[in-house]
């Protein structure tokens, strides 16, 4: 075992040795291969280095040959570019010397019909001017192109004026009326666009204006613009006034929205309505009646209804046209000149409107001086319209001078002042109207002063807010002792609330009615017959009450006088009682006073018979006299007339029947028919004919 164990390691070592020797041999062979390849690589590297060295040498030779050629070519190219630029600059400079000649024909012929081409020529001239100013300011060419530029600018200004003059036309009245009309049947109003200039012409004008501002350094065209457009605005409004005048002349009545007439050229459209002016025609008719009754005579100073209606429409037209003009102006005039130009543009038309308004105020003032207080009715519709449109008016004039903005408020103040003066003087005239016997109605009917006063007050219903504000503007609340609400304590008329104005107007109406009552009471004393005086007061009081009840006046009166209606009824009842007392001298003969006491079958004494005869005679004579006299009196109200007749018939008939019954069995005369002239039915018929002049 020991020998075997030593032999096994010896064999392993030998094998291991052989294996190592074989690997060593392989490594040696590999090393030999590598060395051979390295030798070959060195040879190849040496060959490549030789080739690259030769290539580098050749490149250096080529570079030394090409670089001078390149630099020479680059210099030649630069020289060529400089020559081209020089020639171009020369051509450009030379062109400035030919600008005057090249543009002469176009400038002389003007811009009409070829504005773009003309502006292009002007641009060339302008560049030439700039060139000579910068490079040769002493050259004669500079003066030439400057003169040509100024000539071109003058022709552009002339073209601006010519286009505006040629195409600016007054807006036709029909179109204006359509623009300001209000059709209550339409929920959405179709806005009428006012086109002042054709679109192509407008674009040319805008283009010229822009050039004149940017290059022409000229603002004179703005003066030209506002002068031409101002003239057209004024002519448009005057054309509308002339339209009203012709409409009035052809139809025979003033043009008014209350008169629904159709225009021939627009048969499908209604006559335009002004908001809130449905009562204008009624106002005119009542104004005419007032003028006739109150002694006013038509004259050159009187303001006609057609003029008022026309003026109201012209105010609305001015606002609409001014707004349209401002929209047009925004496209043409530079922004920082727009407000000033617009202010100048509207001055003539606005001044004419304000002057006309002042004339209306002056006419009303002269009429009031003649005590023709109905003239104030011409102020109301205008004042109401002005105040209704004041906010829009102010908005339109926003940005204009303070003097321009204040013109309408000044006119409104003047109208409120003269209106308040008229109202106050009218109230005083009612109180102080003289008691003239020849002016009293012979039949005791309604006095013209009463009808005038009521008619005048009824007109205030259509203008309650206006009339109330009119009174408030003059701080008349103190005059009427109206308690002010704390919110209404400002002295400014605008601070008075609508409710306060209503109370103020109510108090004014009550004052007029109170003055009227006092005057009627005074006038009634002119009558010698107390019964006629009672009938006169009854008729007037009844007329006042009925007029109040038929209109909204009673509601307005009761704002401050709750018992107005019952007070008038009491006054009427008092006068009926006073009238009935006139029959006492008739019915007193039918009383038992002094009537003899007798027994049936007893013969009367002569004195007793005479008493009965006197009673019959007194009754007959009194009845005949009263019926004859009172038949000529008048009670226009049928209800009241019938009531008084019926009441009096009952009283007289019953007394007469009782008297006849007492005298039925008394023999007081041989000719009873001489004294018993009337049967009770006949007496009733006679009373039934009272207050009937046709009977």
Measuring CA to CA, which residue among 459, 438, 439 is closest to residue 447? 439
To the nearest whole percent, how much of the chain has pLDDT over 70? 81
106 versus 94: the higher-pLDDT residue is 106
For position 190, what pLDDT does the model report?
A: 65
411 and 354 Cβ atoms separated by less than 8 Å: yes
Tens digit of each residue's pLDDT (9 = 90 or more) over 378-397: 889 999 999 999 999 999 99
Quickly state the pLDDT bin for 182 (edges 50, 70, 90).
Answer: low
Structure confidence at residue 98 (pLDDT): 67
Asked if residue 144 has pLDDT above 50, the reply is yes
Whether 118 and 105 have beta carbons less than 8 Å apart is answered as: no
User: With 50 as the cut, is the pLDDT of residue 301 above it?
Assistant: no
What integer pLDDT is reported at residue 452 of this predicted model? 92
pLDDT at 256: 39
Q: What is the mean pLDDT of residues 239-265?
A: 57
The arithmetic mean of pLDDT across residues 583-597, rounded, is 79
Cα(133)–Cα(600) distance, integer angstroms = 147
Write out pLDDT tens, residues 485-521. Answer: 433 433 444 444 788 888 999 999 999 999 999 999 9
Q: What is the mean pLDDT of the chain?
A: 81
Residue 296 predicted with pLDDT over 60 = no
Tens of pLDDT, residue by residue over 627-674, are: 989 889 999 999 999 999 999 999 999 998 988 888 776 777 677 778
Mean pLDDT for the stretch of residues 133-159: 82
Contact 349, 230 (CB under 8 A): yes
> Residue for token digits 């040629």?
166
pLDDT digits (tens, 9 = 90+) for 235-248: 999 999 999 888 76
Closest to 232 in 3D by CA, of 288, 167, 183, 143: 167
- CA dihedral of 317, 384, 484, 566, whole degrees rounded to 10: -160
Q: Which residue has the higher pLDDT, 147 or 597?
A: 147
Side-chain half-sphere CA neighbours of 572 within 13 A: 20
689 versus 513: which is more confidently predicted?
Answer: 513
The better pLDDT of the pair 218, 519 is held by 519
């Amino acid at each position: 075992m020991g020998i075997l164990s030593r032999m096994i390691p010896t064999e392993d070592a030998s094998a291991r040795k052989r294996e190592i020797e074989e690997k060593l041999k392989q490594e040696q062979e590999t090393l030999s291969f590598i060395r051979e390849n390295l030798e070959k690589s060195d040879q190849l590297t040496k060959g490549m280095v030789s080739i690259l060295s030769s290539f580098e040498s050749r490149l250096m030779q080529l570079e030394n040959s090409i670089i001078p050629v390149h630099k020479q070519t680059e210099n030649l190219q630069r020289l060529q570019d400089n020559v081209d630029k020089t020639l171009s600059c020369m051509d450009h400079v030379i062109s400035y010397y030919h600008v005057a000649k090249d543009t002469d024909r176009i400038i002389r012929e003007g811009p009409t019909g070829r504005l773009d081409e003309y502006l292009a020529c002007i641009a060339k001239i302008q560049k030439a001017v700039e060139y000579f100013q910068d490079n040769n300011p002493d050259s004669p060419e500079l003066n030439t192109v400057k003169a040509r530029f100024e000539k071109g600018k003058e022709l552009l200004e002339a073209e601006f004026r010519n286009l505006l003059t040629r195409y600016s036309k007054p807006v036709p009245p029909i179109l204006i009326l359509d623009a300001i009309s209000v059709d209550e049947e339409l929920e959405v109003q179709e806005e009428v666009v006012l086109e002042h200039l054709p679109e192509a012409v407008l674009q040319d004008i805008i283009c010229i204006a822009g050039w004149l501002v940017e290059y022409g350094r000229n603002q004179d065209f703005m003066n030209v613009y506002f002068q031409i457009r101002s003239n057209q605005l004024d002519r448009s409004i005057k054309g509308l006034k002339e339209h009203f005048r012709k409409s009035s002349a052809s139809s025979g009545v003033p043009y008014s929205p209350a008169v629904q007439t159709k225009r021939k050229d627009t048969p499908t459209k209604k006559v335009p309505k002004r908001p809130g002016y449905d009562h204008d025609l009624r106002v005119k008719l009542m104004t005419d009646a007032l003028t006739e009754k109150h002694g006013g005579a038509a004259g050159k100073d009187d303001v006609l209804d057609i003029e008022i209606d026309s003026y109201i429409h012209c105010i609305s037209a001015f606002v609409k046209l001014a707004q349209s003009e401002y929209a047009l102006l925004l496209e043409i005039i530079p922004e920082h000149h727009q407000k000033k130009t617009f202010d100048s543009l509207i001055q003539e038309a606005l001044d004419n409107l304000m002057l006309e308004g002042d004339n209306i105020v002056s006419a009303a003032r002269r009429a009031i001086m003649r005590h023709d207080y109905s003239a104030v009715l011409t102020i109301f519709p205008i004042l109401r319209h002005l105040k209704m449109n004041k906010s829009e008016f102010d908005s339109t004039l926003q940005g204009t001078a303070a003097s321009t903005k204040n013109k309408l408020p000044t006119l409104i103040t003047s109208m409120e002042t003269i209106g308040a003066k008229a109202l106050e003087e009218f109230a005083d005239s009612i109180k102080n109207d003289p008691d003239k016997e020849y002016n009293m109605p012979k039949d005791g009917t309604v006095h013209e002063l009463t009808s005038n006063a009521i008619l005048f007050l009824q007109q205030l219903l259509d203008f309650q807010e206006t009339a109330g504000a009119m009174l408030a503007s003059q701080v008349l609340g103190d005059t009427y002792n109206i308690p002010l609400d704390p919110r209404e304590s400002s002295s400014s008329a605008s601070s008075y609330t609508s409710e306060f104005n209503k109370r103020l107007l109510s108090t004014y109406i009550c004052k007029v009615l109170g003055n009227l009552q006092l005057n009627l009471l005074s006038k009634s004393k002119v009558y010698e017959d107390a019964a006629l005086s009672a009938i006169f007061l009854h008729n007037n009081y009844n007329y006042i009450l009925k007029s109040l009840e038929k209109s909204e006046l009673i509601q307005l009166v009761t704002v401050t006088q709750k018992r107005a209606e019952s007070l008038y009824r009491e006054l009427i009842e008092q006068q009926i009682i006073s009238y009935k007392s006139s029959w006492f001298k008739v019915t007193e003969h039918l009383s038992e006073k002094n009537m003899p006491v007798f027994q049936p079958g007893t013969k009367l004494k002569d004195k007793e018979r005479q008493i009965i005869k006197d009673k019959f005679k007194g009754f007959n004579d009194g009845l005949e006299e009263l019926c004859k006299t009172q038949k000529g009196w008048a009670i226009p109200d049928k209800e009241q007339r019938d009531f008084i007749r019926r009441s009096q018939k009952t009283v007289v008939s019953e007394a007469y029947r009782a008297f006849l019954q007492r005298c039925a069995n008394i023999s007081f005369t041989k000719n009873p028919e001489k004294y018993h002239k009337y049967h009770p039915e006949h007496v009733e018929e006679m009373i039934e004919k009272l207050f009937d002049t046709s009977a």
